[in-house]
Amino acid sequence: MVVMISSRTLRVELGTAGPGLTSTSPDEQRRTYKCCCRSQCDAYYYYVKLKCSLPPPLQPTQILRVQIPHNVSFELDRTRPDLLSEEQQRKFVQDVQLAQAPEIILILSPIPFIPIPLYLPLSSSSVLLSSISVDEGVLLPEGVLPGLSLSGPTPQQEEQDPRLLELEQDPPNWREHTPPDTLKDLSKKETKRQEVINELFATEHAHVRMLSVLQTVFWKPLEREELMTATELATIFPSLDEIIDMHYAFYEHLKKLRQHNFIVKAIGTTLLNRFGGTEGEWFQKLTSRFCSHQTWALEQLKMRQKKDPRFNSFILEAESRPQCRRLQLKDIIPTEMQRLTKYPLLLENIAKCTEDTLEKESIQQSAECCRKILNHVNEEVKQMENLLTLKDYQRRLDTSGLKPSNELYLEYKYLDLAQRRMIYEGPLTWRVTKEKTLEVQCVLLGDLLVLLQKQDDKMVLKCQSKSNIAVQEGKQMLSPIIKLDSAFLREVATDRKAFYVIFTWDSGAQIYELVAQSVGERKNWTDVIKMAVDELKKTGPPSDLKRGNSILTGGGGNPYSPTT
């Protein structure tokens, strides 16, 4: 068998059985077709026939030609192959494999075969690429391809889920496959309905494909190369396998609805089965878990890329693959959240074009289920982002500024912001006196209003005095921590952007004048503080300050988690 590679085509000739089949009986006269799917000889397709002939269109000694991707041929045309970097060589062989595999499979489909990927070390691909001649190609003897075996699948082969081959192809458009007479009989409203259903189907197909990229291009290779542990990956991509299965099952159900002339008659039951009932609750739970971790996951990946050159090289190489469609990992991870935002609009548009009353009600009910799922996921995402903000503030927290008030220092020197629930935060101006103002980051927790001062990288809790004379334990010392169970608000008559927070106790009161950046922001602050105070009066002080949130991992002290 001889393989010829040039900048334009890959040529594979039929020949006799290779060394992997020499132990077979000579009477069987086996013939083998070997197809090198990329220049690294990264994958072989063996075709073993018990007869002396091969079915048409292929015959022994026939040459099969497949195109090498344009970007590879362009680089080979303008660059001496022996000057290519190893990273560029890796990218070339990946591009060639992805581009050629579907074409080869299509051409060879009449022949039953067993795909057997074979992976060679980079040094082998370097020898191969450095020998490429743009004009004449290079002849590779079989001896260059060691280690051929029929012993079983490699880890790389196991990644090639059969459904991925279908997902790599664009889904058929309903207009192109619907009989012309049927199309002609459709009303304008029904035609619009079929268009929206086709959009739902096509975008679901694209979404499953992109989720599969996370799994096959990033997750599994990262684990196989031991660049990240299984625990780390499960936290970066929580419930990814289950989410892919759910979306793929939904895609398959939509595909079945198109089996009759690609015209979908009833879709309401399929939608309710996906987004309503217990299935909808499970879908909500898994998507909440995945989406709520995405901000933290992106930050962790960014930090790892800065610290680990090997990890960074892997990510850059993976992102350059055609499967990623020029998207970076930071663009792919948010796709699940983006998909959830599109369901309600798509389903509402289908409902608008549906004539049947019962069918329309089912679709509208499904759209409402999608909105509830989206709202729940948004809330979980918000809570996780709030928790990450509190953890960052806690890491930078400096309580030494409470020491002028011994009572306050003893109470709050071990304050853990991350153990509380954050409701709202933002910049405010604290008018301590007419002459003294401070820029603070105000954080509203379930039971406290905390005024943090930024000093370099620290978030400082510091007592402030209204008097120029130091007060040992006097009530003129203003605490940067206000307890909401004894606080109420008042407007500032002379400034529409300002408001008073009045903190009372048995022997007196303290008045804080806080100024927002706009009238609208002042209203936001007063509204959320009032709601927090009212809620605290109804429920009383929190008995357990730990967040009881479904997005948190269970007990066990996961060392690699946004919640630890």
Is 547 within 8 Å of 387 (Cβ atoms)? yes
Q: How many CB atoms lie within 10 A of CB 293?
A: 26
For position 519, what pLDDT does the model report? 95
556 band by pLDDT with thresholds 50, 70 and 90: very low
- Helices within 108-239 (DSSP H only): 122-130, 155-159, 162-168, 174-177, 180-185, 188-213, 220-224, 230-236
- Residue 287 pLDDT greater than 50, yes or no: yes
339 band by pLDDT with thresholds 50, 70 and 90: very high
548 band by pLDDT with thresholds 50, 70 and 90: very low
- Helices within 13-85 (DSSP H only): 70-78
Two structure tokens written together for 184: 């002609």
- Residue 114 pLDDT greater than 50, yes or no: no
Percent of the chain at pLDDT exceeding 70 = 64
Please give the residue that has the higher pLDDT: either 96 or 152: 96
Half-sphere exposure of 320 (CA within 13 A, CB side): 18
Is 507 within 8 Å of 475 (Cβ atoms)? yes
* φ, ψ at 132 (rounded to 5°): -65, 130
Among 238-247, 261-270, 396-405, the range of highest mean pLDDT: 238-247
220 band by pLDDT with thresholds 50, 70 and 90: very high
561 band by pLDDT with thresholds 50, 70 and 90: low
Distance (Å, whole) CA 162 – CA 102: 12
Q: Would you say the pTM of this structure is higher than 0.95?
A: no
Angle at 346 between CA 343 and CA 350, to 5 degrees: 135
For position 474, what pLDDT does the model report? 47
Distance (Å, whole) CA 328 – CA 247: 22
354 band by pLDDT with thresholds 50, 70 and 90: very high
The closest alpha carbon to 236, from 174, 298, 279, 322, belongs to 298
Is 296 within 8 Å of 384 (Cβ atoms)? yes
**3-class DSSP assignment, residue 248:** helix
Distance (Å, whole) CA 141 – CA 383: 61
| Single-letter residue type at 375 | N
Q: How many CB atoms lie within 10 A of CB 532?
A: 21
Distance (Å, whole) CA 533 – CA 540: 10
